[in-house]
Amino acid sequence: MAKNQTQKPPSDGASPSQVRLPGGTKVIVKDPDGTEVKLSPEEQVAFVFLENIELLEYSCFNPSYLGRACSLDELIEAVRGKKGEMLGLNQNPNQDPNYRYTLTISDTGDGYQIEAIPQRTGPGGFLCLGKKGYMFGDHFYNPKGAAATTSSKLGTYSISGPDFRRSQF
């Protein structure tokens, strides 16, 4: 992976605001054997950001929208698709004081890695490896810190209710 973009908290001394899930959002994550993984509220926020970035990246790759990978900065600011639709996040992951988010696009531009890296002891970390043309990649979780491909692989998951994506499609 080459084009690494790390999102950092504001450097102007201002404290970032707490990011919370929208009301009515429910997150269920299971390991490969079907056992539910209990996530803290902070971990649920991180997982929803991770999944939203993954879904937006899938849309960016789609020739009907853009036909190319999008950077995390583009997803934060929103990028206009070919038909005028806006692809992006409606909340800025930089405002999450519990995690640092990265999106790394492969040198060939056909794969990506998304990380939600905890910024303190307590919450676990997440990693997603995805490829152009695939809606869902491989997901990993480490309950004790940053996740890697050697961390626990996740099984099924669902997010119901509002999330962090713009709804202008």
Is residue 14 situated within a structural domain? Answer: no
Is residue 169 situated within a structural domain? Answer: no
Is residue 134 situated within a structural domain? Answer: yes
Is residue 92 situated within a structural domain? Answer: yes
List CB contacts of 140: < 8 A, sequence separation 6 or more.
Answer: 126, 127, 128, 147, 148, 149, 151, 152, 153, 154
pLDDT band at residue 168 under the 50/70/90 scheme? low
- What's the number of domains the chain is made of? 1
Q: State the Cα–Cα distance between residues 1 and 11, nearest whole angstrom.
A: 27
Is residue 21 situated within a structural domain? Answer: no
Is residue 20 situated within a structural domain? Answer: no
Q: What is the pLDDT of residue 38?
A: 97
pLDDT band at residue 135 under the 50/70/90 scheme? confident
pLDDT band at residue 165 under the 50/70/90 scheme? very high
Q: Which of the residue ranges 5-19, 27-41, 92-106 would you say has the lowest mean pLDDT? A: 5-19
pTM exceeds 0.85, yes or no? yes
Share of the chain above pLDDT 90, in %: 76
pLDDT digits (tens, 9 = 90+) for 32-52: 999 999 999 999 999 999 999
Provide the domain limits for residue 65: 3-8+26-160
Is residue 35 situated within a structural domain? Answer: yes
Is residue 151 situated within a structural domain? Answer: yes
